[in-house]
Structure formats: C-alpha cells, structure tokens
Chain A
C-alpha cells in the first residue's frame, strides 16, 4: 500500500509540472491572439500541438508511476 501512495505522489508532481507548462502555453497563445487576432487560427494550432507535447511528458511520469505501482 505504501508503494501505491508514493506512485500517487509522483503522478501528482507530474500533474503540477504539466499544469505550469500548459498554463504558460495558454498564456502565450492568448497574449499572441490579443495582439494579432488575424493570426488566431495559426496560433491555436501551434498551441494545441505544444500543449500535447507538454502533456506527453507528464504522461511519461504517470506511466512510470503506474509501472512502479504494479
């Protein structure tokens, strides 16, 4: 049971990292769109791709946490 709790802490830490990363991406995208509304579509596509890349890193950590758990 102790192992399970440590894995959960690891997953939580990974979520913090991804939260900060995706927050920064969202901030950048919104600022970019506010300054240049005509580029909104292009910025949105790049924002989603960057968010998916950041998310993947946190999911690596979740997978490691799961494997450690199992």
Chain B
C-alpha cells in the first residue's frame, strides 16, 4: 500500500490518515511507468518519448526521488509525471498543455512488459506442444502439457469454429486460437497479485480496442458480396425500407467491434476493482479484524474471476467467429416473397 500513500501525498490534499479508496484503486488498475514489487522496491521501466526534437529515452527512476516524491526531469523538455502520464511542465510548476500534446509517449510500460511476458509464455507453451506433436504424431495419446492444451484447442474448434464458420473454419482457426489464448493468459496473469502478474492488461481499453480492430479488419476484408449487399441494399424489402435500413446497418459494422472492446474492458476492470475494494475494507475500517471478512470475500471473487477470465476470452473468440461467419456466409440467392 506504499503506492497508495504516495498517490495520497501527491494528488490529494486530504487529511493525513484518511484512506483514499478511489485513488488507490485507480492507481492499481492504471498503466504505470514502474512496476511495484514490494515495500519500497519497484522495477523502473524505460520511458521513451517522441518529441519534435527527436526521440529520447530515460529510466523512469529519474521521475521520482529517493523519497518516492515525483520530481521534474529535464530532457528535451522538463517532464513530470502527473496522474501516471508524462507532462511537460512550465517553469512555475504548472502543466504546459500545448507542449504536452506534442509529446508522444511510446514507453515500455507495465502493461507492455506484461504483454511481452504473455507472448513469451505463448511461444514456450505452443512451440513445446507443437514439437511434441511433430515427434509422436497426432494419432498417439497426448503427453504432458499436450493433455492440457489439446482439449482446449478442440473445445474452441468444436464450440467456436465449426458452429459459426462451418467448412471455412480451418482458415480462421489460427486467428481464433491466438486471440483466445492471448486474452486468457493475460486475464490469468492479471489475477496474480505479485510480480509476473498484476498488470491490468486486458482491463486496458487500448488493448481491447486493438484486439477488436483485428476482428473488424478480418470481418470486413473477408466480407463477401452478400455481406455488403445486406448492409447497403437489404434484399427483399421495399425501396423506402432499404434506404431506412442502410445507415442502421452501416452503424452496426462499427458497433460490433466497439461492443467487443467495451465488454472485455469492462469485465476485467470491474473484476480488478471488486477485488481491490474488498481488500481496501481492511484499510477503511483500520482494523486487522476486518480481514476476517475481506479475505474470504476476495478469495471468492478471485475464483469467480478465474471463471470470468475464461468466459470472456471464450466470448471474444465466439463473437469474432460469429461476425466473421456472418460476413463470409454464402447465401443461395432466393428473393423473399413478401
């Protein structure tokens, strides 16, 4: 809870000893330039900025002093961390909004490192399993980690791929499996409260938006003639109705990825907020005895979150398959008789 007091001292001028619940929770679910390990120890991640004077990189430890107070670092501009974001400061200590807009932060943040860990895990798991299949073939019984991965892959193929994509399923299975395992491992890592986990990656709207954009591109690139016809000129309706439906269907093209984005983001963020709120009860009541209630509830919610992490990864893959299936569907043309 070191970060909590830090946050408390820096942003909120509340009375000492008054625990700032919302600040603590937001601080924990937010992306960060350093990764807090324990006590006063944290990993300082590199800050990379693109400014109009060129790129510059420095350690995020320059942004705070030995007492964990945020300080100004003089690079191309004087930088200071304000609410987790790097801002350009004026000489009098206020934020220079004009200059801050021109600075693009492409740092390797906590979320980015967490994603690298996920990618690393995926490579280890899947190259290992693939090697095992090369050695023993697909007909022999699975061994070791294969026994865990094989049923999951078959589950995705039979519950997601085949029902929505039919005979086209093999074309899109690599995408569906990648997106499913990537989201699932990120969700699980987010539930681990200490170092390799703890970053709220799948509860970051930029992350989920990027994943949804992949689905959006794949749906619209693979969309057949019938898909576009159903959007712009719905067959079997009167001309007035066709014109009326066109903007609605066109909006639907964009609402689908947006709903994918917000569903995953909201579910994972809500889970993190719930766990943190329950743990915060101990600090709100300022009594160790409160943990008798807070800890079992936290464990209970965490177990539910294990389920939610899987279900949300599954639903993301399922809805992606559904949207792709709707776009590549081949209609056997028959005018509706109304």
User: Which residues of A line the B interface, CB within 8 A?
Assistant: 45, 48-49, 52-53, 55-56, 59-60, 62-63, 70
Name A48's closest neighbour in chain B (CB-CB): B311
Q: Does B265 touch A at the CB level, under 8 Å?
A: yes
Contact of B267 among A48, A49, A59, A70 (CB under 8 A): A59
| Given A59-B267, A63-B269, A63-B270, 16 other A-B residues pairs in contact with their CB atoms under 8 A | A45-B159, A48-B307, A48-B311, A49-B311, A49-B315, A52-B315, A53-B315, A56-B262, A56-B263, A59-B263, A59-B266, A59-B270, A60-B262, A60-B266, A62-B266, A63-B265
Nearest 8 interchain pairs by C-beta:
A59-B266, A56-B263, A63-B266, A52-B311, A59-B270, A52-B315, A60-B262, A59-B267
Q: Is the CB of B262 within 8 A of A49?
A: no
Name A62's closest neighbour in chain B (CB-CB): B270
**Which residues in window 280-326 of B have CB below 8 A to A?**
307-308, 311-312, 314-315, 318
B266 / chain A contacts, CB cutoff of 8 Å: 56, 59-60, 62-63
A53 / chain B contacts, CB cutoff of 8 Å: 315
**Which residues in window 137-180 of B have CB below 8 A to A?**
159
Q: Shortest distance in angstroms between A24's beta carbon and chain B's nearest beta carbon? A: 18
Q: With A49-B311, A49-B314, A49-B315 as given contacts, are A55 and B262 in contact (CB-CB < 8 Å)?
A: no
Name B262's closest neighbour in chain A (CB-CB): A60
15 contacts between A and B (CB under 8 A): A45-B159, A48-B311, A49-B311, A49-B315, A52-B311, A52-B315, A59-B266, A59-B270, A60-B266, A62-B266, A63-B262, A63-B266, A63-B269, A63-B270, A70-B26
User: How far apart are the CA atoms of A5 and B270 in the complex, in Å?
Assistant: 18
User: How far apart are the CA atoms of A45 and B307 in the complex, in Å?
Assistant: 12
A56 / chain B contacts, CB cutoff of 8 Å: 262-263, 266-267
Name A56's closest neighbour in chain B (CB-CB): B263
